[in-house]
Structure 1
Amino acid sequence: MRKIVLSLVVVASLLTACKGEKKEKVEAKEAVKVEVSIAALDNVDTTASVLTWIGTKPTGSHNGTVAIKSGGLLVEEGTLKGGEFVIDMNTITNVDMAGSDGAGKIEGHLKAPDFFDIAVYPTSKFVITKVEDVEGKLAVTGNLQIKDVTKSITIPAMISTEGGVTTFKSDVFNVDRADFNVKYGSKRWIEGLKDKFINDLMEMSFEVKTKA
């Protein structure tokens, strides 16, 4: 009996620890007005920059990438001042099933009208509006536009420069796709899904490099 009790305590502790590690979604607020466009800098190396994503459902998860189409990154004396990244939604790629028919089906569905509807919304965008230093890491606030919705979010990130190339790299952050009218399989928008839902939270991260 004592061994059973100890085992239950260990399991409970592990579950509590796992629950504590779960990332909360970033808060989506009203978009901030942007006075100056950084895109004109056009100094982002699109071949070396990428947005990564992970989507989950009760039966598993999928992950992939989306290419950065264009953008600018403004850094003055080693300090990040602004940035604008245009995301090419036509390049959504599924990585975990790469090369299979399954990957093609996932990519096609993500591009379809009931998901990101890329025929109508071929690009998304992230525009930096404020940067603060918080305990040695940057808190980067920006307007994230997906489909016809633009919201202000704040994400943790860092920048580094080596060999004349500056890299903007965010931590993984969770965005609630339901906030951006991405409704397929969402329990917020559709009733009666039971275990057929897709989690509203999507994990995302940026890695953006400037041209040498």
Structure 2
Amino acid sequence: MKRTILTLALSLFTAGIALATEPVEVDKKEVKAEESKVAWKAYKVTGSHNGTVTLKSGTLMFDNDKLSGGEFAVDMTSLIVTDIEGGSRYKLEGHLKSDDFFAVESHPTATLVFTKVKSTGKNSYEVTGDLTIKEITKPVTFDVSVYGSKATATMKVDRTDFDIKYGSGSFFDDLGDKTIYDEFDLVVDLEF
């Protein structure tokens, strides 16, 4: 009798461990790159410039309808300026794509991989991720909101973390009104 009870208890314990280690089903949602938007805004002493880059691919992961992960790739060769027109626009786009800034010829893709997601309220999350620009990876923290099949995120990025120092007052003296601030903003609207 004792042996039967012990065997039964051992069986229940083993079954409990097996159930506890069952993998959690993660729902992966592919982001619709063509319908999503990545906008940037950069600042200088005399004003600002803004534009967009194109999302190449993206995936958001959900666990029980809660955001749990994500991975994204951005086509840096698609970088455009939207606040000015004509020759000035193309000159600025060329400079931003050059080695002074994003070096898109040798680094055509930037990536972001979520490493930690914390719920901060209904549909709101604080996300930490590894951002890679010019093959340099640095952690970034930003806010994400998810509503139905849409998500939005805003973040500040310090370009000097990615060896983009052109016109930075942190590295060069006497730039005066040619100083470009180190941080730029990204606003991301995703559809999945």
Please state how far the C-alpha of 1:42 moved relative to its aligned partner.
Answer: 7.7
Out of 47, 59, 81, the residue aligned to residue 94 of structure 1 is 81
Give the structure 2 partner of residue 109 of structure 1.
95
For each residue in 1:51-110, what CA deviation from the matched residue of structure 2 results, as whole angstroms up to 9, or x when unmatched?
11101111111111111011211123321111101010001111111x422211111111
3-state SS of the aligned residue for 1:140? strand
Amino acid at match of 2:43: T
Give the structure 2 partner of residue 123 of structure 1.
109
Tell me how many residue pairs correspond in the alignment.
165
Amino acid at match of 2:55: I
Higher mean Cα deviation, 68-77 or 108-117? 68-77
Preserved contact between residue 141 and residue 155 of structure 2 (Cα < 8 Å) = no
Q: Structure 2: any 5+ residue segments left out of the alignment?
A: 1-25
Name the structure with the higher strand share: 2
Establish whether residue 159 from structure 1 lines up as the match of residue 141 from structure 2.
Answer: no
Establish whether residue 146 from structure 1 lines up as the match of residue 133 from structure 2.
Answer: yes
**Normalised by the size of structure 1, how large is the TM-score?**
0.73
Give the structure 2 partner of residue 180 of structure 1.
162
Distance 2:137 2:37 in 1: 20
Please state how far the C-alpha of 1:178 moved relative to its aligned partner.
Answer: 0.8
For the aligned residue pairs, the C-alpha RMSD in angstroms reads 1.7
Establish whether residue 77 from structure 1 lines up as the match of residue 64 from structure 2.
Answer: yes
Out of 198, 201, 206, the residue aligned to residue 180 of structure 2 is 198
Give the structure 2 partner of residue 53 of structure 1.
40
Distance 2:135 2:168 in 1: 17
Amino acid at match of 1:73: L
For each residue in 1:146-179, what CA deviation from the matched residue of structure 2 results, as whole angstroms up to 9, or x when unmatched?
1131111110111121xxxx22211x32211111
3-state SS of the aligned residue for 2:30? coil
For each residue in 1:120-161, what CA deviation from the matched residue of structure 2 results, as whole angstroms up to 9, or x when unmatched?
110101111111112443101111111131111110111121
Please state how far the C-alpha of 1:190 moved relative to its aligned partner.
Answer: 2.2
The percent identity for this pair of structures is 38
Amino acid at match of 1:105: K
Preserved contact between residue 175 and residue 202 of structure 1 (Cα < 8 Å) = yes
Preserved contact between residue 187 and residue 197 of structure 1 (Cα < 8 Å) = yes
Distance 2:138 2:38 in 1: 18
Distance 2:94 2:40 in 1: 16
Distance 1:100 1:42, change over 3 A: farther
Larger radius of gyration: 2
Preserved contact between residue 42 and residue 70 of structure 1 (Cα < 8 Å) = no
Q: Structure 1: any 5+ residue segments left out of the alignment?
A: 1-37
Distance 1:205 1:184 in 2: 23
3-state SS of the aligned residue for 1:82? strand
